[in-house]
């Protein structure tokens, strides 16, 4: 009897495995996109709900977050993130699921996984004020687990082909400044001892190693977003009082210092690594342009949080159930003290899809689809 149960269990496993393989190849043949999967790494700008499943102060699984999504999902905005919108634009079905969601298994992982986590940084100690968060090294560990699961499900050759054609996106680095270097009371770094140049150099060195690790695990098409104008977010405007139409200088200077070196890294990686394509997404330039010319994009407010509680710009308290909400979210660039609205995310995504080399370099995502 026991032997029969073992045989039955093996048969059920084999049948389940066969269903996963069949589902993958059927969906691949039906897909409207030449990109079969989307793997996402980063922080709260692209978190799709991973922090819902960990003990963390950095959460967005409560109203009014998601108010235009239909419900709170763990996304730090009123509806969709940039990567949600890009996934739709490139023809992927549904939204890329968070790694920690119980349903992210089986055939679901063959279409991509979102590993991003609110509060995460390039450095492991970044964001420790939040308690739990999944920093980039841990996100890469999680991808390694997914990679092995995919190899087990469809075989090594098919998995290598999947990774070769999949899109890998990374949006991280803001927290290493906002919740690390710029907050020395909770940081391991004291600004008077560590110069901006030294801190950024350490960031770049660590990030380059992390990008190389991802490449070695099979990623071929890697979009690397730079750090946006963090000195312009409502939080920075309120904790560093300034004139209404001015951003805070130091955070933006740090971001620009990092971005210049990151672009050089991307250029070097493209020169030295055969078979891989690193793409530099200049989010700083795009967001800066949106804020400078906000009216031309249909916005009416470019410096205050739509979801606000305290502060001249609504930047002192995170968005929560007791917050007030602007009447028309589509007219605001910022949803909360730190993150863009769905409307701003849409503009950013479209610029990454179709923009010039000043937006995304060396090619945009729509060009990537036809190459």
Helices 82-89 and 342-354 meet at what angle, rounded to 10?
A: 50
DSSP letter assigned to residue 56:
B
Active site residue 17: no
Q: Round to whole Å and give the CA distance between 332 and 294.
A: 9
> Would you state the structure tokens that stand for residue 165, as one six-digit string?
């054609």
Given the DSSP bridges, would you call strands 307-308 and 324-325 parallel, antiparallel or unpaired? antiparallel
Q: Identify the sign of the CA torsion 105, 109, 111, 112.
A: positive
- CB neighbour list of residue 97: distance below 8 Å, 6 or more residues apart: 48, 103, 104, 108, 113, 114
E-strand spans in the chain? Answer: 38-42, 167-171, 221-225, 277-281, 301-305, 307-308, 324-325, 332-334, 360-361
The residue from 43, 84, 176, 336 that is catalytic is 336
Active site residue 44: yes
Which residue do the tokens 């907050």 mark? 183
For 265, the enclosing helix (H) or strand (E) is helix 249-272
The residue from 84, 187, 302, 339 that is catalytic is 339
- CB neighbour list of residue 87: distance below 8 Å, 6 or more residues apart: 38, 95, 96, 112
Please report the DSSP string for 220-263 in residue order: -EEEEE----GGGSHHHHHHS---TT---HHHHHHHHHHHHHHH
Active site residue 339: yes
The residue from 44, 56, 58, 117 that is catalytic is 44
Residues tagged active-site: 44, 336, 339
């Amino acid at each position: 009897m026991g032997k029969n149960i073992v045989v039955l269990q093996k048969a059920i496993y084999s049948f389940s495995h066969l269903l996963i393989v069949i589902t993958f190849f059927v969906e691949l043949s039906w897909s409207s996109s030449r990109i079969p999967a989307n793997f996402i790494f980063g922080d709260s700008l692209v978190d799709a709900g991973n922090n819902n499943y960990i003990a963390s102060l950095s959460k967005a699984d409560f109203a009014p977050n998601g108010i235009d999504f239909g419900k709170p999902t763990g996304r730090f905005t009123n509806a969709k993130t940039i990567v949600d919108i890009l996934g739709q634009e490139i023809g992927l079905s549904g939204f890329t699921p968070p790694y920690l969601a119980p349903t992210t298994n089986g055939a679901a992982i063959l279409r991509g996984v979102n590993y991003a986590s609110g509060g995460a940084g390039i450095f492991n100690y970044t964001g420790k004020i939040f308690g739990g968060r999944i920093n980039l090294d841990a996100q890469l560990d999680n991808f390694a687990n997914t990679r092995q699961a995919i190899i087990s499900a469809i075989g090594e050759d098919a998995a290598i082909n999947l990774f070769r054609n999949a899109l890998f996106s990374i949006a991280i680095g803001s927290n290493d400044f906002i919740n690390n270097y710029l907050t020395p009371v909770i940081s391991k770094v004291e600004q008077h001892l560590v110069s901006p140049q030294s801190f950024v150099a350490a960031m770049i060195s660590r990030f380059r190693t992390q990008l190389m690790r991802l490449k070695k695990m099979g990623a071929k098409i890697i979009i690397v977003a730079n750090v946006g104008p963090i000195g312009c977010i409502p939080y920075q405007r309120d904790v560093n009082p300034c004139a209404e139409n001015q951003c805070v200088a130091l955070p933006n200077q740090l971001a620009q210092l990092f971005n210049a070196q990151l672009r050089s890294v991307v250029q070097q990686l493209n020169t030295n690594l055969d078979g891989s394509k690193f793409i530099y997404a200049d989010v700083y330039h795009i967001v800066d342009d949106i804020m400078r010319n906000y009216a031309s994009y249909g916005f009416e407010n470019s410096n205050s949080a739509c979801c606000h509680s305290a502060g001249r710009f609504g930047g002192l308290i995170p968005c929560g159930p007791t917050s007030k909400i602007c009447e028309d979210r589509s007219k605001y660039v910022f949803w909360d003290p730190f993150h863009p609205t769905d409307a701003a995310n849409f503009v950013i995504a479209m610029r990454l899809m179709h923009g010039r080399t000043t937006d995304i370099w060396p090619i945009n995502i729509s060009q990537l689809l036809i190459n």
